[in-house]
Amino acid sequence: MESGLMVAVFGAYGHTGRFVVARLRERGFVPVLSGRDADKLKAMAYESGLEARAASVDDPASLDRALAGAAAVVNCAGPFATTAAPVIEAALRAGIPYVDVAAEVEANHDTFTHFAARARDARAVIVPAMAFYGGLGDLLTTAAMDDWTTADEAHIAYGLDSWHPTAGTRAAGVVSRQRRDGRRVRFANGRLEYRDDAPPALEWTFPEPMGRRAVIGEYTMADVVTVPSHLPIPDVRTYMTAEAARDLSSPDTPAPVPADDLGRSAQTFLVDVVVRSGGVDRRAVARGQDIYAVTAPLVVEAVDRILSGRIRTTGVASAGEIFDAADFLRSLSPYISVALHR
């Protein structure tokens, strides 16, 4: 879709926001730069030639000005516990679709809880967690399910060779820990459960060449919100390679460093999804480079499909519910390689 439509990007100057702006331009959209830091916006506008509109989540009128004339808004500004609701409210006032890249479990749960009825009644489109965490795992799980209407378990294992977190990732983690009072969360028995014990140390056999690796079990990501929002699976577990978990927990791990002309880091990932029903397994595997950079084609493809009417529902909906999951994954082939084993 090369339409010249304007798409507001809140948090445009952030690490992920910059990837999203670049991908929007490649797809023929006109990004409108927005965010809370007027100086960063001004600098980005100067270097990109794009319009900048400063806005604050504490100032609804500024958000309305930022979204004026836009066909959709992409929220890339975390922590999403702070930004999601105000930007969604502005999108509802403007009558435009809202998409975000939130990885925070509680923030995504809030979006489904607080906006489902209003969005459904208004036939609005709100897609949370349209990113590496939450969106990609949901698409893979939905595609693996295929013609199954239910499943007993879904396991989503993240094989990251490293994890150099951005400042935004660290800030979001602080907010999540505060909201959980230091507890951890998992999705089991059809609901979110908060626990005080340590997550299990396990091993997971990834497809080659990664092979068998130490993982942190129940290392809970946004998939525990997106997948159960539309698929009747009572147990959804996520796992993280131990080395990536150590990187994230260490305050000394540096931020991502560009390693190619696209600005991507050298980080590689493998997402291994196993869906189990009655002792039968179905599997979906995705491979790619840089978890932050790969969020851009995910979210921009979502915007394109929403604005061109290629959606299956309205309201608050995750990627796997609102889009044709298998077709969506195929569209990502320049960025992610996907294999389905049914």
CA distance 2 to 72: 15
Per residue in 222-270, pLDDT (tens digit) is: 999 999 999 999 999 999 999 999 999 999 999 999 999 999 999 999 9
Cis peptide before 334 (omega within 30 of 0): no
Residue 3 pLDDT exceeds 80: no
The three-state DSSP-derived secondary structure of 240-254 is: EEHHHHHHHHCCCCC
Cis peptide before 79 (omega within 30 of 0): yes
Token digits of residue 254? 């540096």
Q: Are residues 116 and 173 in the same domain?
A: no
Residue 306 pLDDT exceeds 80: yes
**Residue 309 counted as domain residue:** yes
Token digits of residue 340? 């389905």
**Residue 1 counted as domain residue:** no
pTM over 0.85: yes
Q: Are residues 70 and 82 in the same domain?
A: yes
Token digits of residue 258? 């560009």
Average pLDDT value for residue range 298-315: 98
CATH of the domain at 171: 3.30.360
CA angle 135, 212, 327 (to 5 degrees): 30
Q: Are residues 115 and 140 in the same domain?
A: no
pLDDT band at residue 342, thresholds of 50, 70 and 90? Answer: confident
CA angle 65, 66, 67 (to 5 degrees): 90
Nearby residues of 223 by Cβ (< 8 Å), 6 or more positions away: 133, 134, 137, 138, 141, 156, 236, 238
Q: Are residues 169 and 279 in the same domain?
A: yes
